């Protein structure tokens, strides 16, 4: 049975080019990048080339890139760097639909006496910029808002958010984990102080990420030790992971330069239009808002997400209901709850997320089996 992987917002398959460079690193460039001999120098070159490749995707200077263990660490480092730089500021702004790797550290800070204000979204998942502007106070230390929602794909105007923060003198952190490799990022042209990435969301390896830090923004290491990453993150670097991350970023930059965004838009439109044709009663969450071309979050009334996911998996299709970090959670998504999706739809939600490795044939094959899967789930749910 052919397998179709359609859960690319959870993680992506490694590109062959990424596997190749990582294999060479593991086999040949095994030295410690901090060592002074030739083995260490070879490993150091791998790290710095990876940094240049990540910076190339972001259109920034390489020295602005700090390697981390992933997007979660990058998010935490940005948040705690801003908080520690201004101990007198006790107010933080985020949104009700942020990733848990943002909401969890904010909840920790709330327990330490910080006031965390979570801005609401409308039924399409859009953010009201006037609410953001009015929420910022003299004691606001940080605004942390994502670029693209990991569940619905809804996009927010990062440049506008950054401009509002810059005008009021507040640091701005952007979780761009889902945006990278799918849309153009020119981080030096955005009023962004911190921006987070994860390699495994753009066909790179798990366990490697990066934090962009503007030159004027304060940064404090979460991991302390011998002072690697110019004192911004201690610990011997993950050389093979960084090399794979860098190559994945280089491939993503080439994909975007070749017009990959347009081809993904066509594939995503084929999926969405096919859903409405096959199952006219569906609800596309985020419809009407700007969204990532690869992401369709669809709800079916009186259905069970868990049953549909299992039935599709049995038929060779991998999809999810919401964020992978909640995959074992039977409760409906907090993101959909924040968007006021009716409860009769919330329980029957699928997140179908494509990558540039997917094909029109895979989309058509999914559309062919989905009506039967939905009807089977509905009969068991009612």
Beta strand extents in the chain (DSSP E only): 4-5, 65-68, 91-95, 115-119, 140-144, 171-175, 194-198, 209-213, 283-284, 295-299, 317-318, 349-353
CA pair distance 220, 208, nearest whole angstrom: 19
Identify the DSSP state of 282.
-
- Measuring CA to CA, which residue among 182, 185, 136 is closest to residue 159? 185
Q: What are the catalytic residues?
A: 325
- Measuring CA to CA, which residue among 56, 38, 62, 22 is closest to residue 239? 22
For residue 99, give every residue at least 6 positions away whose Cβ sits within 8 Å of its Cβ, in sequence order, or none.
71, 75, 146, 150, 175, 177, 323, 325
Q: What separation in angstroms does the CA of 238 have from each of 176, 213, 251?
A: 21, 20, 20
Q: What separation in angstroms does the CA of 106 have from each of 77, 88, 93, 238?
A: 12, 16, 9, 28
Instruction: Say if residues 249 and 57 touch (Cβ distance below 8 Å).
Output: yes
Identify the DSSP state of 49.
H
Instruction: Say if residues 328 and 374 touch (Cβ distance below 8 Å).
Output: no
- Measuring CA to CA, which residue among 307, 278, 374, 312 is closest to residue 1? 312
């Amino acid at each position: 049975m052919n397998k179709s992987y359609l859960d690319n917002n959870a993680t992506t398959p490694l590109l062959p080019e990424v596997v190749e460079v990582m294999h060479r690193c593991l086999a040949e460039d095994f030295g410690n990048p901090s060592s002074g001999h030739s083995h260490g120098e070879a490993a150091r070159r791998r790290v710095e080339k990876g940094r240049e490749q990540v910076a190339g995707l972001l259109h920034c200077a390489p020295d602005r890139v700090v390697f981390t263990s992933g997007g979660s660490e990058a998010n935490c480092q940005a948040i705690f760097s801003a908080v520690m730089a201004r101990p007198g500021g006790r107010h933080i702004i985020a949104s009700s639909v942020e990733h848990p790797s943002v909401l969890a550290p904010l909840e920790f800070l709330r327990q330490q006496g910080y006031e965390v204000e979570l801005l609401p979204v409308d039924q399409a998942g859009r953010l009201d910029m006037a609410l953001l502007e009015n929420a910022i106070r003299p004691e606001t230390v940080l605004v942390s808002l994502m670029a693209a929602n990991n569940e619905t794909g809804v996009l927010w105007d990062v440049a506008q958010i950054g401009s509002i923060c810059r005008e009021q003198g507040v640091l701005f952190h952007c979780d761009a984990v889902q945006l990278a490799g799918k849309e153009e990022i020119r981080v030096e042209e955005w009023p962004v102080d911190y921006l987070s990435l994860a390699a495994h969301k753009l066909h790179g390896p798990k366990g490697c990420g990066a934090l962009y830090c503007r030159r004027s923004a304060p940064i404090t290491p979460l991991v302390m030790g011998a002072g690697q990453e110019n004192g911004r993150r201690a610990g011997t670097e993950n050389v093979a992971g960084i090399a794979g991350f860098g190559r994945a970023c280089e491939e993503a930059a080439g994909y975007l330069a070749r017009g990959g965004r347009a081809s993904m838009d066509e594939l995503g439109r084929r999926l969405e239009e096919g859903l409405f044709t096959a199952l006219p009663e569906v609800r596309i969450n985020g419809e009407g808002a700007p969204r990532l071309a690869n992401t369709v979050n669809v709800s079916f009334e009186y259905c069970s997400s868990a049953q549909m996911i299992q039935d599709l998996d049995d038929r060779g299709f991998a999809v999810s209901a919401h964020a992978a970090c909640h995959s074992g959670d039977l409760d409906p998504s907090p993101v959909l709850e924040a968007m006021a999706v009716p409860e009769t739809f919330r329980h029957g939600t699928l997140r179908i997320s494509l990558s540039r490795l997917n094909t029109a044939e895979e989309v058509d094959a999914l559309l062919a089996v989905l009506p039967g899967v939905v009807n089977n789930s509905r009969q068991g749910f009612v």
